[in-house]
Amino acid sequence: MQHTIPCLKECLCEMRSFVATQLSQTQLSETEKAQIVLAIDEACSNAIIHGNNCDKNRLLQLTIDFYQEEIRIEISDIGKQLPTTPKNTDFDIQQNITNKMKGGLGLRLIHNIMDNVDYYHRGNIGVCSLTKRLK
């Protein structure tokens, strides 16, 4: 299933609704579904804000594929940059607050929720690939 939105923060609600509808057909718990929606929302937010500067003329495409043992999500766009993988996905949120660290929490959140996260280019298209194994 595919869904495309302009690179505007205002369109994230529409994207979350699409993802939730697609996940409703799975046997995942409500908590797992909410976590996946959150991870996808964060990845889409990053692409819209950091990769495309909220340019309404650019498009963000989300593709969800369901397999027997996993769900694969691809978020693709023509953004300027792809994020780098956080060096340490095990983090102490309280330490980040105490040290007043800014940024990077969203990527860590995505990596903690999803089983596999990859970033790559397909021609001039940047792709964020997320995988969640089904239990």
Averaged pLDDT in 10-residue chunks for the chain of 135 residues? 96 97 93 97 94 94 95 90 55 58 77 94 92 91
Contact partners, residue 11, CB within 8 Å, separation at least 6: 5, 48, 60
- The alpha helices in the chain, defined as continuous H runs, are 12-23, 30-46, 93-98, 105-113
User: According to the model, what pLDDT value does residue 87 have?
Assistant: 47
User: According to the model, what pLDDT value does residue 98 have?
Assistant: 62
Q: Are 12 and 48 in contact (CB under 8 A)?
A: yes
Residue 64 is which amino acid? I
CB atoms under 10 Å from CB of 84, counted, come to: 9
User: According to the model, what pLDDT value does residue 135 have?
Assistant: 77
Q: Is 95 helix (H, G, I), strand (E, B) or coil?
A: helix
User: According to the model, what pLDDT value does residue 78 have?
Assistant: 83
Superfamily of domain covering 2-133: Histidine kinase-like ATPase, C-terminal domain (3.30.565.10)
Q: Are 129 and 118 in contact (CB under 8 A)?
A: yes
- Residues making up the chain, counted from first to last: 135
Q: Taking Cα atoms as reference points, which of 28, 110, 126, 33 lies closest to residue 77?
A: 126
